[in-house]
Amino acid sequence: MTALPSGGRDGLRTVRCTATTRLPPIDFLGPNARALAPSLEEPVTDEFSERLRIEPWADPVIDERGYDPRSEYAEWFWLAVVGPSSIWLLRRIAATFDHRPDGFDLEVAECAAALGLTGGAGQHATFLRTVRRMCQFHLARRIDRDTVQVRRRLPPLTRSQVLRLPSSLRVAHEDWMRRELDAHRAARIARAAQAGRAVAAGSGSLPHPPAA
């Protein structure tokens, strides 16, 4: 038995590890979710400068319904896909966006040293491999050698990414997504009921016709 997230944004419970699991849909992100989360990742080999302009990647759907890089979802699931250096860099950038929402300049060597990664802009520098990996998995995108746009929030894993998780995490991810779908649908039903009550209350407040 392995302690893994229960599917909520807080708390843990114990789940049984199995080798197979049914994968949940991701329709709670809307009809464009699959197009926004391609299943194939191609390596990024472009070079970057030693000073990068980091800008937010505007994405209305993911910005509204995605996961903060500092969330448990990122720690439990995206960590297994992109590795710790990418998650730490995404978290550092997210924290900076809190104070500089329009973007900021990043000194590669200084940031790399702060994260315990190799500095410099060499082709094989650990830090720049981390940036390329973020671009490879569509968590960031290279605009030019001086500019990178980074997501404020992370999309859910694609089906192919979930299939590559360890079996225990696949089970936990299925449970997590099912609970989020249930919560989303319950909220939609509650909003519809509230709207219905408002209409009924408005109708009841209309003046009655005079008695004959």
* Span 34-61, pLDDT tens digits: 444 444 566 666 788 889 999 999 999 9
Q: Are 55 and 150 in contact (CB under 8 A)?
A: yes
In terms of phi and psi (left: phi > 0; alpha: psi -120 to 50; beta: otherwise), the region of 33 is alpha
> Nearest Cα to 137, choosing from 37, 27, 45?
37
Give the tens place of pLDDT for each residue, 8-18: 444 434 333 33
CA dist 107 and 209 (Å) reads: 74
Give the tens place of pLDDT for each residue, 98-118: 999 999 999 998 999 899 886
CA dist 120 and 93 (Å) reads: 18
Q: Which two tokens stand for residue 13?
A: 């419970």
Greater pLDDT, 138 or 47: 138
Give the tens place of pLDDT for each residue, 171-204: 999 999 999 888 878 888 888 888 878 777 766 5
Secondary structure of 125-140 in HEC code, one letter for each residue: CHHHHHHHHHHHCCCE
The pLDDT, as a whole number, for residue 41 is 64
Q: Is the pLDDT of residue 19 over 60?
A: no
> Nearest Cα to 2, choosing from 96, 144, 61, 13?
13
